[in-house]
């Protein structure tokens, strides 16, 4: 029996790789001779670097960069097994969790650190980039990232501007002559699972900036700033990103990547599954195990487990999903290819206790064992 494990992380508890190990342990107690293939996955958000690096036998690069408030932090990015593809999560350098709630202010926060990650990878020889842009603390349309790469943003007096969303409306001229020249040789794929435009009632500022510390007044300032900046981009660069789907992702970073680095925006899970070559592994599998921390209506809208099930159904392979929490709306995933799902929680327990690694590992391996005991009974009864 061949079983492919392609499960997203249980965020804050177990990584995709750790889950794969525990699921394999449970299966092996019932089918010790089975072939288990573990494919770490993510959907472009947290865990993307680990999934693609571990899934391709790549390596991690530790580096000191600036956080959203231009304070030095140690963080990391990955280089895939091919040695030329860098995998970067912008949240590692410019994420919301890097600054305390009382210090969050999208007028000041910058994506500069994300640009430092890209620059380091370029100088190490990478020319292919996969960038996950979830969880940002910023609303600067990627200006900070571009500043780190050598772009200059100038005011009406051609004076160089500072950082953060506060400068969006002040940008009148853009200088590209000092940008990192190697960028012309690079290709950027952006894992983007939202379709918000750059500005407007569904734009970056209106939908996301409040959670980043914006007051109602700041929301209006940022929205106008994004409009003004899009007009400057159109004038200076000749590209119109104002209504581009996904350009408002990560505080407009999606739009900045497209306009200045010719990036392609793509649903995160589809991109990652292609990169790890999951289709080749699934062709002759008997079962697929997938899942994530919580199965709900968002899962059915195209998150990692449904991305896996979509590929599995090309080969008519049964899909089983595991999760910590499962809502009533998770039934919608049955229509998207998940044949059966199970919560790993065995008895009443606090969230804090359930998320402890030792507890989660015990639940995952134990429940996987029970699922495959049932499968073995059914095989003996009905497959004689």
The alpha-helical segments, DSSP class H, found in the chain are 16-28, 48-55, 91-94, 112-123, 143-148, 204-208, 216-236, 249-261, 268-275, 278-282, 297-300, 304-312, 351-354, 357-382
How far apart (Å, rounded) are the C-alpha atoms in residues 232 and 235?
5
Tokens describing residue 49: 């670097």
Q: Which CATH superfamily is 48-268 part of? A: Glycerate kinase, domain 2 (3.90.1510.10)
| 265 beta partners | 190
Q: Where are the domains of the chain?
A: 2-41+277-382, 48-268
Whole-structure pTM value: 0.79
Tell me if 183 sits within 8 A of 261, measured CB to CB.
yes
pLDDT digits (tens, 9 = 90+) for 42-51: 766 667 787 7
Give the CA-trace dihedral at 318, 191, 106, 198, to 10 degrees.
-110
pLDDT digits (tens, 9 = 90+) for 212-266: 999 999 999 999 999 999 999 999 999 999 889 999 999 999 999 999 999 999 8
Tell me if 311 sits within 8 A of 288, measured CB to CB.
no
Q: Which CATH superfamily is 2-41+277-382 part of? A: Glycerate kinase; domain 1 (3.40.50.10350)
Burial of 156 (0-12, 13-18, 19+ CB in 10 A): exposed
Per-residue pLDDT of the chain (384 residues; tens, 9 = 90+): 999 999 988 887 898 889 999 999 999 999 999 999 998 887 666 677 877 887 788 999 999 999 999 999 999 999 999 999 999 999 999 999 899 999 999 999 999 999 999 999 999 999 999 998 888 999 999 999 999 999 999 999 999 999 999 999 999 999 999 999 999 999 999 988 778 999 999 999 999 999 999 999 999 999 999 999 999 999 999 999 988 999 999 999 999 999 999 999 987 777 778 777 888 889 999 999 999 999 988 788 778 899 899 999 999 999 999 999 999 999 999 999 999 999 999 999 999 999 999 999 999 999 999 999 999 999 888 776
How far apart (Å, rounded) are the C-alpha atoms in residues 192 and 204?
13
**DSSP-derived secondary structure for 42-104:** --SSTTHHHHHHHHTT-EEEEEEEE-TTS-EEEEEEEE-TTSSEEEEETHHHHBGGGS-GGG-
* Nearest of 39, 113, 20 to residue 368 by alpha carbon: 20
- b (16+ CB within 10 A) / e for 257-289: bbbbbebebbbbbbbbbebbebeebbeebebbb
């Amino acid at each position: 029996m061949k079983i492919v494990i392609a499960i997203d992380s249980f965020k804050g508890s177990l990584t995709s790789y750790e889950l794969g190990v525990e699921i394999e342990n449970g299966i092996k107690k019932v089918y010790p001779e089975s072939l288990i293939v573990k494919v770490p996955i993510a959907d472009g958000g947290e865990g993307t670097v680990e999934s693609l690096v571990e899934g391709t036998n790549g390596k991690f690069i530790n580096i000191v960069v600036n956080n959203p408030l231009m304070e030095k932090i140690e963080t990391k990015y990955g280089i895939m097994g091919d040695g030329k593809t860098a995998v970067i999560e912008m949240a590692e350098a410019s994420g919301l969790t890097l600054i305390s709630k009382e210090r969050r202010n999208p007028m000041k926060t910058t994506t500069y650190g994300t640009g430092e990650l890209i620059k380091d990878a370029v100088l190490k020889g990478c020319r292919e980039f996969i960038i996950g842009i979830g969880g940002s603390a910023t609303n600067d349309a990627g200006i900070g990232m571009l500043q780190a790469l050598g772009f200059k943003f100038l005011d009406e007096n051609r004076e160089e501007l500072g950082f953060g969303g506060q400068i969006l409306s002040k940008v009148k001229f853009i200088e590209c002559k000092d940008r990192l020249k190697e960028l012309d040789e690079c290709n950027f794929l952006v894992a983007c699972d939202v379709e918000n435009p750059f500005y407007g009632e569904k734009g970056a500022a209106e939908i996301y900036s409040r959670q980043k510390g914006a007051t109602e007044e700041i929301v209006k300032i940022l929205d106008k700033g994004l409009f003004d900046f899009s007009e400057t981009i159109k004038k200076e660069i000749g590209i119109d990103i104002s209504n581009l789907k996904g350009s408002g992702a990560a505080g407009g970073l999606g739009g900045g990547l497209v306009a200045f680095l010719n990036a392609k925006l793509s649903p995160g899970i589809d991109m990652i599954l292609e990169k790890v070559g999951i289709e080749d592994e699934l062709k002759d599998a008997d079962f697929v195990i997938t899942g994530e921390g919580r199965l709900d209506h968002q899962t059915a809208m195209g998150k990692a487990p449904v991305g896996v099930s979509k590929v599995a159904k090309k080969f008519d392979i049964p899909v089983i999903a595991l999760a910590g929490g499962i809502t009533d709306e998770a039934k919608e995933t049955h229509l998207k290819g998940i044949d059966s799902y199970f919560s790993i929680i065995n008895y009443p327990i606090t969230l804090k206790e359930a998320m402890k690694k030792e507890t989660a590992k015990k639940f995952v391996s134990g429940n996987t064992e029970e699922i495959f005991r049932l499968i073995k009974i059914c095989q003996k009864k009905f497959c004689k």
